[in-house]
Amino acid sequence: MGKKYVYLFSEGDASMRELLGGKGANLAEMTALGMPVPQGFTITTEACTQYYEDGERISEEVREQVLAFVTKLEEITGKKFGDPKNPLLVSVRSGARASMPGMMDTILNLGLNETVVESFAEKTGNPRFAYDSYRRFIQMYSDVVMEVGKSYFEKLIDEMKAARGVSLDTELTADDLKELAAQFKEEYRQKTKKDFPTDPVEQLFGAIEAVFRSWNNERAIYYRLMNDIPSSWGTAVNVQSMVFGNMGDTSGTGVAFSRNPSTGEKGLFGEYLMNAQGEDVVAGVRTPQPIADLREQNPAVYEEFAGIVDVLEKHYRDMQDMEFTIEDGKLYMLQTRNGKRTAAAAVKIACDLVDEGMIDKKAAVSMIDPKSLDALLHPQFDPAALAGATPIGRGLPASPGAATGQVVFSAEEATNQTKKLGRHVILVRLETSPEDIEGMHYAQGILTARGGMTSHAAVVARGMGTCCVSGLGDISFSEDETSFTLGGKVYKEGDFISLDGSTGNVYGEEIRTVPASIGGDFERLMAWADEFRVLRVRANADTPTDARQARKFGAEGIGLCRTEHMFFEPDRISAIREMIVSDTPGQRWEALSKILPMQRGDFENLFEAMEGRPVTIRLLDPPLHEFLPSTKEEIEALAESMGIPAEQLRAKIDSLHEFNPMMGHRGARLDVTYPEIGEMQTRAIIEAAIAVQKAHPEWQVVPEIMVPLIGSYHELVFVKDIIDRTAGALIKDSGVALDYKVGTMIEIPRAALRADMIAEDADFFSFGTNDLTQMVFGFSRDDAGSFLPAYYKNSIYENDPFQKLDRRGVGKLIKQAIESARETKPDIKLGVCGEHGGDPVSIQFFYEIGIEYVSCSPYRVPIARLAAAQASLA
Amino acid sequence: MGKKYVYLFSEGDASMRELLGGKGANLAEMTALGMPVPQGFTITTEACTQYYEDGERISEEVREQVLAFVTKLEEITGKKFGDPKNPLLVSVRSGARASMPGMMDTILNLGLNETVVESFAEKTGNPRFAYDSYRRFIQMYSDVVMEVGKSYFEKLIDEMKAARGVSLDTELTADDLKELAAQFKEEYRQKTKKDFPTDPVEQLFGAIEAVFRSWNNERAIYYRLMNDIPSSWGTAVNVQSMVFGNMGDTSGTGVAFSRNPSTGEKGLFGEYLMNAQGEDVVAGVRTPQPIADLREQNPAVYEEFAGIVDVLEKHYRDMQDMEFTIEDGKLYMLQTRNGKRTAAAAVKIACDLVDEGMIDKKAAVSMIDPKSLDALLHPQFDPAALAGATPIGRGLPASPGAATGQVVFSAEEATNQTKKLGRHVILVRLETSPEDIEGMHYAQGILTARGGMTSHAAVVARGMGTCCVSGLGDISFSEDETSFTLGGKVYKEGDFISLDGSTGNVYGEEIRTVPASIGGDFERLMAWADEFRVLRVRANADTPTDARQARKFGAEGIGLCRTEHMFFEPDRISAIREMIVSDTPGQRWEALSKILPMQRGDFENLFEAMEGRPVTIRLLDPPLHEFLPSTKEEIEALAESMGIPAEQLRAKIDSLHEFNPMMGHRGARLDVTYPEIGEMQTRAIIEAAIAVQKAHPEWQVVPEIMVPLIGSYHELVFVKDIIDRTAGALIKDSGVALDYKVGTMIEIPRAALRADMIAEDADFFSFGTNDLTQMVFGFSRDDAGSFLPAYYKNSIYENDPFQKLDRRGVGKLIKQAIESARETKPDIKLGVCGEHGGDPVSIQFFYEIGIEYVSCSPYRVPIARLAAAQASLA
């Protein structure tokens, strides 16, 4: 016998989620718990996978099994498909392992046709109900299976209501509905050039195939991409005998949660409609009643339902989201699942369940989606204010949170208008550059036309916790950049716009926001997480402000301080530029000696802020041309201020031009060509550490100096030698017993391949997974936007490798590097400081392969703490 | 007891080359053969390495051993260091494992001082000789140990000759020389602020240290880099008791080869000078006599020498280069080594030695440096014409051979002036682009101001076998680009210049060249090589012309045909551009269908040229923007010719801009985004193959379609599916049983890491070591020029990884990929098509790790064949 592709509800249970999908597994579980569930069967996710393997057709094997189970269902229900006397009617619903919007929803009343509906009307003595069910079926089938949109049918209903002079669907008579059903079938014929299928078996397979197809529609693919769901999972199909909420006033249908999904408040929460079916509750045609009304309307059913809810919540040990139908006074359960909830509700429910003794702390920590915490850490739109707003565009959700404010077009204006006018501003730019940092700090939100999730704007905004939408290509700026057009409307400086950095939506109006709120439950949960966590969490922080924010969120150290971000302040950039245009080491030293005291001051503040916790400082990383202007005007202005001919400056800038800056003269390569840069930075770090150590003997200040972009052992030896010579002399002179570490980023494939040798001279490795991902994939994150969408569409890649670490390529290389480094030096400290350090799925992997700490932007620290705890518990 | 750092000549032999250096090992060997060698000792290469490990000082241990061997040498010779009565005088020479120009040469007569010289004069009865030796010693010691240049001393000699009214050194009297010695010492004191050392032991250690130091002087480092010599080898030091060629008219010194090093002609070849020492023979002060004269001048010595030469050649089984001295009528051998020779001589000598029964064919194949064959395959300067010429600049030796001709500044002029005026032209450009191809074909040589060894100009020129010097930064063009300035002189169109593509030298004049000559000996040698060779050799060839050239040089197939090179012909580029600016697949198809017949024609010619041998064709690789113009004028002209607004074209070009084109939208990524490109190319390949197969049933045409830049299994599956569907349909329709293969380049680290999976769907892998090297090292070859020199200077890298494959990083990854690919598919075909495929050292590695074929530019094919044979024999 071959594979079993179909299961009765009575054959499964909740543990069979992978095979039966969430919905099917829970229907089986409720059946097993003896709850009133209309019976049916589930076609497995493997049948879906098989469907795609067979070139998008249902194989004979699957078809035969389905037909056999139709027969079984006929036996169970005592009804028969297409039997006018006692017809079996079913609903068909998709049900993947994880709930997925975008998938085909529901077809109800399948099995009806012209003959059946007539006798059905007769048998139930309720022709209105029968024809209402029939027209609903035609409508849903047309929409879902044949993609003939609902609107065509809504239009016919509206015309009928107008003709009859009524306003509610329920006011249409049985004859009206019968006529509508006929019109619907005609509409179907015109749109599809086919007759509406009358054979219930043909109807059934049409519906099953539509479910399978919907697994690969664009919305589903996008959703999977966003939520790390592999396309190989497939979806199951649930075929369930119908019960009818539209059988009259003693019938109805509803949805309910066992707790409030917005606030987490305990107690039944939901709504229902009498004499209604399926979507009516949420469709808004009629206004549903709150679930509490049912207690008065039908106390027995209410009590039965409340009892079931209680059993289900205790059984699943989580807040439940349920669908039910009352058929002629009898309650049926159609679905239960763990309810979706806001982050705030999730945290409260988890804590409450612990307090109620239903779950332990481990379960509480495990049940929260770490990514959802983002919403607690940033301002959000007031849901009431958002309700009426329509987006004018959608960019990339580059940094979460919501922001509203008045448009400015330059970083200077962002600063000015905030400081002088007290305005809340949104900075709108083609793209941002390091010189915009101050203005970015003042802006409530940042919107850019160019750049991806890891563009400058995105990275900096995430670090600051500022909302950012990037890469909104539809925006077009006026030539003088004093206005932009979006969604057909022109926006000028001072106009209000709002950004949702969690979705990428942009709104052309002011929308009230509510501030971030991390209350007591949040702190309780994080404390539990820390109990179970082994992986340490540090923050990427470039300034004392970042560092303090990171501490507030529980960072245990700084895993990456990008020193170049300190170079862009106006008083520093000029010294940096002086250094760059220097022709001799002497000139370079002169310029560097101006920077030295500033950097030393920065580092002192950083060490102070971290109070003796580890601080990893990376030596200068970007190519030098990033510090120089590119336009003619800027070059001339700079040349004048530097007192050199513009020609000379331009020549210097030209000589620094690179074809592929990502793979150019940067990182450790700067220290090899200009050892004085590394020497100055070491001096600043060590002098600052000595000063802070002297001032705070109670701390142990251990600076970790990190060399970026190392590709070979001898390269690290060369740079480490500069560091050791400089640091050694300073420490000796200071009389303070300062310890320091020298390590390297592993971000070049060769460094990973030579990890055994490089480990000889490194106290620690920090995997720079951003660059490593770029080099291993051979594409630059700045340029990949032009082709990656085609890769997702064709399922070549299922995830953005810059968001979620590629285990099989990049991860394999990292694992290999760890193993060979530990052979050389078993106690080498191993961390990660790329963007992946804040991604829960990647954190799980890092934990598995023996990484000791991750470092992420301050606002990701709580997420990383929770994810790290979950990794330990998994 | 510690390590033995010093060996007597009588303690060593020729096998101890690593420890004693070439010179030391051969002195020991000659000693063992009973030849008249002045005795001495060798300080080992390990002592040199130790010197650097000890921070550039000679350790006590080494010092003590040297002193002990001085004592032994005193015992052997019966002379004593510093003993006025019977002084030991020695020569000190460097001697590395491989002979290396740039190393310290020789100090003679060490041991002389004021006291010793006086009694030496007395003892020999030849005060002129004694003081001549003394002044020579001071001069050499000052130059070599203290860097007081020879010219200071030459000036004093000239003044003395003027004062004495004589013209030859030999005309100066003993008193004159004594006075000169005093002047020399005074000069030394003034320049060094120290007295000239009188203690022979101090003199000796000064000289030894100078040898050690010279191992790391700039010239030596550069030479090592060019010749793959690791800096860790170190040099040995030979201390040998003096014999004197300057003792009078019965004394003399000379150099000789056992065969003619230019032509390979058998017979003693060399010259000598009587009453002379050391450098005099080559210094040109006096004109030396041909070695044949010695037969008349001193038949006994001549016969003895000729006998020794015969023994040595038979003993070493190779042509010998020897130094000898005659002291008062007695012959002494000072050195022997395998003689350097021209490529032509090398080939002739190897064949002659086989014919003479001295070596077998294996030895003949093994004794030729594969790289040297280059000189046989390209025109060279006539040595006589070159003699007087001085370079006006030096760029990178981008493509070997010599060229002379009249300057042109554009590819069009190169074509025009060659075709219409019959001129020989040199194309001089800032850099070349694919549109220059035709003109590059017509030019005798190409000179560019920008770009490295792998720039467009360099790669294309090597492919064509045209001489090219690239990256000559000193060149400055006039604004209108009708002239350039170099070495202070202006060159206009029509002016003569000459290029040496093997050295990078540029000359501002016409220099006669001699054509390439590959004679019968060459063919014999290559045939022997093919007997022993296992690794197959294919060529990178983009056109039928390339393919025919490759066949002539013995290529066994085409390993890489870059289809994009076919796109740049004027009639094609416009269709390509039309395709690029297309907005819909339909428009794109229309443009592609214009290209299809042209590509089909190209491929037909290629298959014809290869007569059934394998032809690997790579699908389109470069980013599309490479096909579009960049300047305002060109864009406007193109827009007009395409009949679209310049605005629109500019917008398209802007949208194609990439930050890091190397890591952008290219290779297989083009086929994923625009599958119609892959489809058209497959169609062209398969249709061409079918046509040629039909026309030549006697051949078996098996096109190998190669997908570039693959990074994942699913990506290859996607592109392979396009290929298979297209090819399958065409083959079915044709009725011809055509076989074809689909493979991929492994040039992205991830592809290497996922080789096990990717092998599932690939018939072959071709390692693209150029890109792989870039990605593994994380630097772009176009940009690395700004920092790699500092890496060489600091011995971080010893080789250019783009020239010689990096075994420990890139090589490790390739090895790993091969192993995992073979696990999946044991019979997968494995090749290399990067530049390294033509590099002998890399070929050795490829052979070791199980690569089956390399592919290189046509002019490298003979080199690769020889290197592959040597790899098998090693």
CB A563 within 8 A of CB A618: yes
Sign of CA dihedral B777, B782, B783, B789: positive
The predicted structure's pLDDT at residue A342? 85
Question: pLDDT averaged over consecutive 10-residue blocks of chain A (874 residues)?
Answer: 91 94 96 97 96 93 96 95 92 88 80 93 89 93 89 92 88 93 95 94 96 86 78 93 90 94 91 84 75 93 96 96 94 94 92 97 96 88 86 90 94 92 93 83 92 78 87 85 90 95 93 84 96 97 90 96 83 86 86 93 96 96 88 85 86 87 95 95 98 96 98 96 97 95 98 97 97 96 88 87 95 98 97 94 97 95 97 94
Tokens 């094997």, located at residue: A61
Task: Please give the angle made by the CA atoms of A250, A255 and A256, to the nearest 5 degrees.
Answer: 115
The shortest C-alpha distance from B864 to chain A (Å) reads 27
Lowest mean pLDDT segment, chosen from A420-424, B199-203, B275-279: B275-279
Tokens 């010259």, located at residue: B271
DSSP sequence for A99-145: --TTS--EEEEET--HHHHHHHHHHHT-HHHHHHHHHHHHHHHHHHH
Q: Is the pLDDT of residue B463 over 80?
A: no
Question: Of B378, B456, B565, B836, which one is the catalytic site residue?
Answer: B456
The shortest C-alpha distance from A108 to chain B (Å) reads 38
CB contact under 8 A, B748 and A777: yes
Rounded to the nearest integer, the mean pLDDT of chain B is 92
Tokens 């996607």, located at residue: B718
Question: Would you mind telling me the total number of residues written for chain B in this entry?
Answer: 874
The predicted structure's pLDDT at residue B98? 83
Tokens 């006669």, located at residue: B512
Q: Is the pLDDT of residue B454 over 70?
A: no
- Chain Cα centroid distance, residue A376: 14
Mapping DSSP to helix (H, G, I), strand (E, B) and coil, where does residue B705 land? Answer: strand
Chain B, nearest residue to A660 by Cα: B660
Out of A711, A757, A791, closest to residue B778 by CB: A711
The shortest C-alpha distance from B237 to chain A (Å) reads 28
CB contact under 8 A, B771 and A753: no
Q: What is the DSSP letter of A584?
A: S
The predicted structure's pLDDT at residue A102? 64
Out of B659, B665, B778, closest to residue A749 by CB: B778
Alpha-carbon distance B491 to B503, whole Å? 21
Size of interface A-B (CB pairs under 8 A): 170
CB contact under 8 A, B774 and A663: yes
DSSP sequence for B582-635: --SHHHHHHHHHHHHHHHHHHHHHHHHHHTTS-EEEE---S-GGGGS--SHHHH
- Chain Cα centroid distance, residue B344: 17
Sign of CA dihedral A839, A840, A846, A852: positive
Chain A, nearest residue to B675 by Cα: A790
Alpha-carbon distance A256 to A506, whole Å? 32
Containing A501, the helix (H) or strand (E) segment is: none
Alpha-carbon distance B592 to B600, whole Å? 12
CB A457 within 8 A of CB A398: yes
Alpha-carbon distance A437 to A567, whole Å? 11
Interface test with A, best of B674, B676, B750, B808 (most A CBs within 10 A): B750
CB contact under 8 A, A659 and B658: no
What are the φ/ψ torsions at residue B724 (nearest 5 degrees)?
-65, -40
Alpha-carbon distance B723 to B738, whole Å? 14
Q: Which of B517, B554, B510, B484 is nearest to B401 (CA)?
A: B517
Chain B, nearest residue to A670 by Cα: B787
Alpha-carbon distance A159 to A732, whole Å? 92
Alpha-carbon distance B130 to B139, whole Å? 14
The predicted structure's pLDDT at residue B346? 94
CB B669 within 8 A of CB B678: no
Cβ partners under 8 Å of residue B866, min gap 6: B365, B368, B370, B373, B525, B526, B529, B840
CB contact under 8 A, A780 and B748: no
Hey, what are A569's tokens?
């302040």
Q: What is the pLDDT of residues B175-197, one digit of tens each?
A: 999 999 999 999 999 999 999 99
The predicted structure's pLDDT at residue B127? 92
Alpha-carbon distance A15 to A44, whole Å? 14
Task: Please give the angle made by the CA atoms of B425, B430 and B436, to the nearest 5 degrees.
Answer: 60
Packing angle between helix A520-532 and helix A861-873, nearest 10 degrees? 50
- Output Rg (C-alpha) for chain B, integer angstroms: 32
Q: Which of A619, A627, A628, A635 is nearest to A669 (CA)?
A: A619
What is the number of other CB atoms lying within 10 angstroms of the CB of residue B422? Answer: 7
What is the number of other CB atoms lying within 10 angstroms of the CB of residue A43? Answer: 29
Alpha-carbon distance A330 to B317, whole Å? 107
Q: What is the DSSP letter of B503?
A: T
Q: What is the pLDDT of residues B635-678, one digit of tens each?
A: 888 888 888 888 888 888 888 889 899 999 999 999 999 999 99
pTM above 0.90, yes or no: no
Strand partners, B705: B617, B742
Q: Is the pLDDT of residue B795 over 90?
A: no
CB contact under 8 A, B664 and A810: no
First to last CA, chain A: 36
Cβ partners under 8 Å of residue B810, min gap 6: A750, B769, B772, B773, B776, B777, B801
Mapping DSSP to helix (H, G, I), strand (E, B) and coil, where does residue B467 land? Answer: strand
B813 interaction partners in chain A (CB closer than 8 Å): 749, 753
CB contact under 8 A, A748 and B777: yes
Q: Which of B834, B817, B833 is nearest to B825 (CA)?
A: B817
Mean pLDDT for B509-524 is 88
The predicted structure's pLDDT at residue A282? 64
CB A681 within 8 A of CB A620: yes
Alpha-carbon distance B613 to B558, whole Å? 8
Strand partners, A496: A406
Cα torsion at B435, B441, B444, B445 (round to 10°)? 40
CA distance to B121, B169, B195, per residue, from B175 (Å): 11, 13, 22
Out of A656, A709, A794, closest to residue B778 by CB: A709
Q: Is the pLDDT of residue B1 over 60?
A: no
The predicted structure's pLDDT at residue A388? 82
Beta strands in A584-690 (DSSP E): 615-618
CB A254 within 8 A of CB A270: yes
The shortest C-alpha distance from B815 to chain A (Å) reads 12
The predicted structure's pLDDT at residue A101? 67
CA distance to A663, A667, A751, B453, B770, per residue, from A748 (Å): 10, 11, 5, 23, 16
Q: Is B160 exposed, middle or buried (0-12, 13-18, 19+ CB in 10 A)?
A: middle
Alpha-carbon distance B428 to B475, whole Å? 10
A673 interaction partners in chain B (CB closer than 8 Å): 786-787, 790
Task: Please give the angle made by the CA atoms of A57, A60 and A61, to the nearest 5 degrees.
Answer: 115
Mapping DSSP to helix (H, G, I), strand (E, B) and coil, where does residue A630 land? Answer: coil
The shortest C-alpha distance from A560 to chain B (Å) reads 21
In which band, very low, low, confident or very high, does the pLDDT at B292 lie, cut at 50, 70 and 90? very high
Question: Would you mind telling me the total number of residues written for chain A in this entry?
Answer: 874
Q: What is the number of alpha carbons within 13 Å of residue A519 lying toward its C-beta? A: 10
CB contact under 8 A, B673 and A794: no
Hey, what are A288's tokens?
């549903």
Pure H helices in B611-704: 632-642, 646-655, 668-673, 675-695
Task: Please give the angle made by the CA atoms of B230, B57 and B146, to the nearest 5 degrees.
Answer: 90
CB contact under 8 A, B663 and A780: yes
Mapping DSSP to helix (H, G, I), strand (E, B) and coil, where does residue B499 land? Answer: strand
Looking only at the bridges linking them, the beta strands covering A558-562 and A615-618 are parallel
Alpha-carbon distance A572 to A593, whole Å? 11
The predicted structure's pLDDT at residue B777? 97
Out of B656, B780, B813, closest to residue A660 by CB: B780
